[in-house]
Chains A and B, each alone.
Chain A
Amino acid sequence: MSGVMKKVYFPKIKLQEMLMRPGGIARDEAISGAIESLRAESGESNAEIEKAIAAIAAIASGAKGNVLPEQDMKKVLERADEIVTFAGTFGYTYLDRAARGLCDMADGLIRTRCSDAAPIHVHVMALRLFSPNAATPSVAEAEKVLSELASVMAFYKFSSLDA
């Protein structure tokens, strides 16, 4: 018999009681209200995306001799992650894919202690191309850019954070 002490119980969860009270909001009404409210935010979101891209570009341009210190690489990762969140929320598919690629790249560079700035520059160009304020690229153009980003990833042999 195991000597491990284990307590199992059902505590009172106030949230459950409150949510299940009569009245409230129906699922469809709640979701459509939330979507409407988020849609009103999309202008501000575009500005946030532009700010994040500019911040990454500024960090990358600070690289000396194609070397980006780990601290800066972490900042790139953080800003790229923000872009993934915004792009996903507002349905910017290509931007989302390019930003995920940058996250994978920066994460791989940090893990392998490689400080190459060149792949960051390449991703910044892609982010600018796919930013909400840029002219919409054709599907063929977008796929070509994304496949080139994929080949940069393949060169470094990094895997996706999603894998």
Chain B
Amino acid sequence: MAQPRLNFRGVSVLLVDRSHYCRSLVAQMLRAFGVQSVISCETGAEAKDQLKTNSVELCVIEADLPDMTGADFINWIRRENKEPLRFVPILVLSGYTQMRMLSTTRDAGANLLLKKPLSAQAMFDRLAWLARTPRSYIETKNYVGPDRRFKEVAPPDSVFKRETDTPEESADTDDTSRSAAE
């Protein structure tokens, strides 16, 4: 079966991370995928300013920013903006010391969570999943964002299947609701 292809031409990404060098690594990875425009910011306030004048298709943010938590920033995007920014996919990157914050960023409306150190494989596969998986948005008094429960579907090809998997086992897996947090 053919490999998944993703077309990043024209995609603009907002990247927010306190570390200049981490921003540079993630930006390089995205550019290697074909992303041409990466808006790089150190703080949440700087990112908010950038979003007033630039439209982006993806936000990649650190779980804890120097001036606010990642959850505060996501809440601002989900609650205080109009579409299309309100629905922009948000990928949260967590450093080793920020893992306790992952559940709060998910509950603020993040689409995907990724632990650092980041690999190109993990980044590409998560974006491919994001592209291929329709996910409803939920709006309640306490939550605005993508549905936190989703069904994990079988892989698109046999690459990741164990030889011992039986069709019954695969079907069981398909019925399991999983959280977006990984």
Contact = CB atoms under 8 A, between A and B. Distances in A.
B39 interface: no
B97 A77 contact: yes
Given A8-B138, A23-B7, A161-B99, A41 B128 contact: no
B43 to A, nearest CB: 15
A27 B3 contact: yes
Contact of A27 (B58, B128, B134): B128
Contacts of B5: 23-27
Contacts of B73: none
A100 B96 contact: yes
Given A15-B130, A19-B131, A34 B29 contact: yes
A85 B25 CA distance: 11
Contacts of A26: 2-5
Interface of B: 2-11, 19, 21-22, 24-25, 28-29, 31-34, 57-58, 83-84, 86-89, 95-100, 116-121, 123-125, 127-128, 130-132, 134-141, 147
A5 B141 contact: yes
Contacts of B21: 44-45, 48, 82, 86
A19 B124 contact: no
Contacts of A37: 28-29, 31-32
A84 B116 contact: yes
The 10 residue pairs across chains A and B that have the minimum distance between CB atoms: A88-B117, A24-B7, A34-B120, A19-B131, A34-B32, A33-B32, A7-B139, A15-B57, A89-B117, A21-B7
